[in-house]
Amino acid sequence: MFELLGISPQALFGQLLIGLINGSFYAMLSLGLAVIFGMLNIINFTHGAQYMIGAFVAWYALQYFGLNYWWSLLIAPIVVGAFGIVLERTMLQRLYKLDHLYGLLLTFGIALILQGFFLNEFGSSGLPYPIPPSLQGGQNLGFMFLPNYRAWVIVFSLVVCLVTWYLIERTKLGSYLRAATENPTLVQAFGINVPRMITLTYGFGVGLAALAGVLAAPIYRVNPLMGADLIIVVFAVVVIGGMGSILGSVVTGFALGIIEGLTKVFYPEASNTVIFVIMAIVLLLKPAGLFGRTA
């Protein structure tokens, strides 16, 4: 079978693993988007910029405060999440009752402003960020050389995805949240502060983007356009998975990473379009997405 595909099994396994690594970035980013859309009904186009800022916070912390990667994993989500909370309080909150389009336009505009600002300050080539010493090097798996850092990325993002899913689908807090999305007035009548819960949820979703940004910093360039390049793909992932479906976004994130990885072997020229082709097909056959619930 492998001979038919014109590729050795070793190479194929290598590519599958790489697909999984890229998929973990898609999964983490689309997870944040799905949380925000599912709970707030906001299409958060600032997500890419928030991911980029996460990476910049990591760079800044290292450069000016000597705080290493592990601190950044903690600090970046808090800093960027706090920024998200301010954004939600001052602007997004006013748009919940309006059409989705308004939220989309606002967040898109903010993303452009943020990107422009960073581009102006830091240039387009990007800034170097080293892999933390404890994760340097790699393992020879026989069929490929797996850098330790990439292995860490898979494990870490899987854990984050599972914890988030558990939090929202299986805990009491999560059930409050889901109830508040269905019927905020009723939930408020039970004495729960719904607006605050919504604000914190947005902060959490944004924090996830920043966390992905820190994870990406040692692999990609820390660069103002890193989010803009990724966000469109991530939106496609969310649409394929079903808008607002937590599990859907995680599963599709990993699956599309693998499909994209394989495309890079069999038809590399199409590797940046394949996801959109899949999106078009899924939308034709299943307009609510693979895991979406039709209203």
Partner 1 sequence: MKLSRVLGLAAVTAFAAGTASAQISDNVVKIGVLNDQSGLYADLSGQGSVVAARMAAEDFGAEQKGIKVEVVFADHQNKPDVGSSVTRQWIDRDGVDVIVDTPNSAVALAVNEVVRGSRAAFLNSGAASSDLTGPKCSPNTVHWTYDNWALANGTARAIVQAGGKNWYFLTADYAFGHDLEKQVSIVVENSGGKVLGAVRHPLNTADFSSFLLQAQSSGAQIIGLANAGGDTINSIKQAAEFGIVRGGQKLAGLLIFLTDIHALSLDVAQGLQFTEAFYWDLNDSTRAWSERFAQRHGGKKPTMVHAGVYGAVLHYLKAVEALKSDDGAKVVAKMKEIPTEDPVFGKGQVRADGRHVHPMYLFEAKAPSESKGPWDYYKLIRTIPAEEAFRPLDQGNCPLVKKG
Q: What is the secondary structure of 183-239 as a DSSP string?
A: -HHHHHHTT--HHHHHHHHHHHHHHHHHHHHHHHTTTS-B-TTHHHHHHHHHHHHHH
Of 133-152, binders to partner 1 (CB under 8 A) are 137-138, 144-145, 147, 149-150
Which pair of tokens denotes residue 176? 């409050």
Cβ atoms within 10 A of the Cβ of 250, count? 28
Q: How far is the CB of 151 from partner 1 (least distance, A)?
A: 12
Are 157 and 28 in contact by the 8 Å Cβ rule? The answer is yes
Rule CB under 8 A: say whether 228 interacts with partner 1: yes
Q: At what angle do helices 226-241 and 47-65 cross, to 10 degrees?
A: 140
Find tokens 């903690």 and name the residue.
74
Helix axes 9-40, 226-241, angle to 10 degrees: 80
85-114 residues near partner 1, rule: CB under 8 A: 111-112
Closest approach, Cβ 124 to partner 1, in A, equals: 4
Residue type, 242: G
Which residue of 157, 199, 223, 252 would you call a contact of partner 1, by CB under 8 A? 223
Tokens of 56: 């910049």
264 counts as binding partner 1 under rule CB under 8 A = yes
Binding of partner 1 by 291 (CB under 8 A):
no
CA distance 17 to 258: 8
DSSP run (H or E) holding 37: helix 9-40
The residue within the footprint of partner 1, chosen from 151, 174, 271, 276 (CB under 8 A), is 271
Q: What residues numbered 58-77 form the site for partner 1, per CB under 8 A? A: none
Q: Which residue from 9, 128, 163, 287 is in contact with partner 1, where contact means CB under 8 A?
A: 128
Q: CB 5 → partner 1: shortest distance, Å? A: 14
- Judged by CB under 8 A, the residue of 219, 259, 288, 290 near partner 1 is 219
Q: Output DSSP code: residue 222.
A: B
Nearer to partner 1, 71 or 108 (CB): 108
The site for partner 1 (CB under 8 A) is made up of 8, 10-11, 14-15, 18-19, 21-22, 111-112, 115-116, 119, 123-128, 130-131, 137-138, 144-145, 147, 149-150, 219-221, 223, 225-226, 228-230, 261, 264-265, 268-269, 271-272
